[in-house]
Amino acid sequence: MPDPGDFPIQSSANILGFVHCLRAAEFDVSTEDAALIGRALTGFSNPDLRLSRTTCRALCCRNKQEWHRFDALFDAYWFPQYGQDHETPESEMEKPSRSGGGLAGIGTGTDVFDSYKQDDIGVGAGAGRQTTLAKADFRFLNNRAAMRRIEELAECLAQQIRSRLSRRRELTRRAGQLAVRPTLRASVRTGGLPLQPWYARRRLQPPNLVVLHDVSHSMTFNNPLLFRFTRGLTRRFNSAEAFVFHTRLFRVTPIFRETSIARMREILEHNNKLWLGGTCIADSLAEFREQFARQTVKTDSLVIIISDGFDSNEPEQLATQLKWLRQRCRRVVWLNPMLERAGFNPEKEAVWNIRRNVDRLLPAHSLDALRRCVQALSQG
Amino acid sequence: MQEKIAHLITALKGCRYIADDDLATTLSLMEDLSRPVLIEGEAGVGKTAIAAALACVRDTQLIRLQCFEGIDVSSAVYEWNYTQQLLWIKLSEQRDESVHESDIYNERFLLARPLLKSIRQDRAPVLLIDEVDRADEAFEAFLLEILSEFSITIPELGTLTATSIPYVILTSNGTRELSDALRRRCLFHYVPYPSYEKELVILNTHLPDMDSQLLRQITRFVQALREWDIRKRPGVAETIDWARALCGFDVTSLSDSPAVVRSTLSCLLKTTEDRQFVREQGIESLLTVSA
């Protein structure tokens, strides 16, 4: 541990160097923050290690992850002789998970991606983390921390999907437009004096979401991110339903509603029937239609299909099922993680077959793409 | 500064809040830099209690704004008292007095909600904006304006500027990602689950009459339980509740009263799944650790 005695933080050059170090570690420290650190630390008559550390932490950290990483960065900059790593391994920040596997890429999100390390395509090549991570194709992320971060962001992003403003109005005692008729009706009790006015405002209506997630072998690389995205969608609205499919279809809503991600992973991994390879999208949709559609799909439902579109069924079968689904619900949106990837050359006919039978076909290979998906999904 | 922080820690302890250096430094910076503090952490670790303790230390008013989905200006900032306005108009009509707009829209009929109330105090209050992650983004953007300017514009009255800058504490449970803009305007503090030593001191502070050996056992038990893979880990508030419950059953040692421990676990475990999980695992190992 560093010696708290001799601590040379009062030099403004040192403080600036530390701020640059934090920015290099993807902390969002503004010039104003740097000035505040300088003002706070140089203002102290005798700043010791602990005070300086806590001051810098309060001023520079923006979230829990940065809070946990800060100490290691602080020690690495001010006490390089102690040989601290610049970044606390993500695995040390989290509680040890009882699960050790990695089926379909959901175990750690890393084992699968280790094979891509030879490509040596890192995350830190751009100007800053926010932009780079947002645009990075998550298939090429080989950094454990970045992978974790992008998974978290995907889940957060999914939770930003908005409730729709219903055309129906609800009466409230405050806020909104004055509802004349109910106010007059209520005023009868008080001799015609409108003492307690009623207001009307448009009701927020959560969308009826149904997510159908392809977990076949070809989707293995996409699943770490998309599982968290689906989890975010499912947890955002109580009425949302989630299903996974390959050659068969399974309801997984209760699993995605698990608060603990570790437990969700464990349950998913222990469910061997979920991971049988192969893809029969049309058959799975037919199974969904027979077993679950009556309970889950309503006329105003938004059905999201997450799949790369590789299907062993005939295209006509898929078209038939999609047509039926589209008639049954309000919108069908297909998120394809392969769509804008370099080197992905699907048969034009296959893409056209999907495109003409769904309302939107959107790419879902990066955070930026998912952000666009969320915007599209929020549009009613 | 060190003296100030040490003094603040002592003062918070006097208000039954056990703060560490980190928190005390952040609160001191909040006062020095006039910046809001965003406090994140799991439920039940004492985020809201920080605001109450600070209000107690500064001997000032605690004004709380509880956020929720759909919160709007009328619940957070101000609202016109329409009932009184209508009555006043009616009375004026009966007296054959003419009614002007300025007669109706003045401070007499203004109902100040927490945000407006907080900037109109003579003595700077502590403004607690609780669970800000539950509010929607539009309200968050509105908060940004208030937290940077500390002034509120009411179309009928004009701009009301702060008579005193409140100590603003925002709490979040992390159910939604807050905007970068809001985070950038705030100091940040994260409240983790307390260490064994800290939790023991907290229990001793809140339950000074309880046997210290039993409190040690309770703390060890809860600390071990938090390591389990349960959905909702117990916070400090739950630990205090449980200790009180055990005290009510006249328990002197956890290992001597396993039946009471089992029956009072509802103080710690708040979901059916967790209760089922703990029942399946058994509490013997926890009792062994706590002994």
- Higher-scoring residue by pLDDT: B195, A79: B195
Kindly state whether residues B124 and B161 are assigned to the same domain: yes
In a domain, B289, yes or no: no
Question: Among partner residues B26, B174, B229, which is closest to A262 by beta-carbon distance?
Answer: B229
Q: In terms of pLDDT, which residue wins out, B79 or A90? A: B79
Question: Sign of the C-alpha dihedral, residues A302, A303, A306, A311?
Answer: negative
Shortest CA distance to B38 belongs to which of B123, B150, B147? B147
For the ranges A221-230, B141-150, B245-254, the one whose mean pLDDT is highest: B245-254
- Residue B200: φ, ψ to 5°: -65, -40
Residue of A nearest to B191 (CA): A64
Asked whether the beta carbons of B119 and B152 are under 8 A apart, the reply is: yes
SS3 content of chain B, % helix, strand, coil (to 5): 55, 15, 35
For residue A121, pLDDT beyond 90: no
Domain ranges in chain A are 12-88, 169-205, 208-377
| Residue B102 structure tokens | 């300025």
- Cβ contacts below 8 Å, chain A against chain B, sum to 92
Residue-wise pLDDT for A306-320, tens only, equals 988 888 888 888 888
Fold of A208-377: Rossmann fold (3.40.50)
Point out the residue among A28, A98, A197 whose CB comes nearest to the CB of B229: A98
Host domain of residue B266 = 196-279
Say if residue B56 is in the same domain as residue B119.
yes
Looking at the complex, report in whole angstroms how far the Cα of residue B265 sits from the nearest Cα belonging to chain A: 20
Residues of A in Cβ contact (< 8 Å) with B5: 51
Among candidate residues B191, B223, B252, the one where a domain is terminated: B191
End-to-end CA distance of chain A: 56
Residue A101: its pLDDT value, please? 33
What pLDDT is attached to residue A6?
54
B70 vs A28, A59, A204: nearest CB: A204
What is the pTM (predicted TM-score) of this model?
0.60
Confidence of residue A152 (pLDDT cuts 50, 70, 90): low
Nearest CA to CA, how far is B257 from chain A (Å)? 30
Residue type, B177: E
Mutation target to probe the A interface, by most A beta carbons within 10 A, among B35, B111, B187, B276 is B187
The question of ipTM being above 0.90 is answered as no
pLDDT > 70? residue A359: yes
The confidence band for A208, taking pLDDT boundaries of 50, 70 and 90, is confident
Residue B38, pLDDT > 90, answer yes
- Both B130 and B180 in one domain: the answer is yes
* Residue range A243-255: mean pLDDT, rounded: 87
B146 and B85 within one domain: no
Contact indicator for A206, A234 with CB cutoff of 8 Å: no
What was the pLDDT predicted at A110? 33
Mean pLDDT for all residues in chain A: 72
Q: Which of A41, A45, A61 to mutate to test the interface with B (most CBs of B within 10 A)?
A: A61
Partner residue facing A195 (CB), from B2, B86, B174: B86
**Window from A198-202, A215-219, B42-46 with minimum mean pLDDT:** A215-219
**A48 in contact with B, Cβ within 8 Å:** yes
In a domain, B21, yes or no: yes
Chain A residues lying within 8 Å of B227, measured CB to CB? 95
**Same domain flag for B56 and B103:** no
Judge if B82 and B62 occupy the same domain: no
For B228, the closest chain A residue by CA position comes to A95
C-alpha distances in Å from residue A289, one per residue of A285, A296, B174: 6, 10, 37
Q: Which of A98-102, A218-222, B247-251 has the lowest average pLDDT?
A: A98-102
Starting at the edge strand found earlier in the chain, the sheet holding A164-172 runs A164-172, A199-205, A177-178
Q: Match 């695995």 to its residue by tokens.
A: A91
Cβ pair A190, A217 in contact under 8 A: no
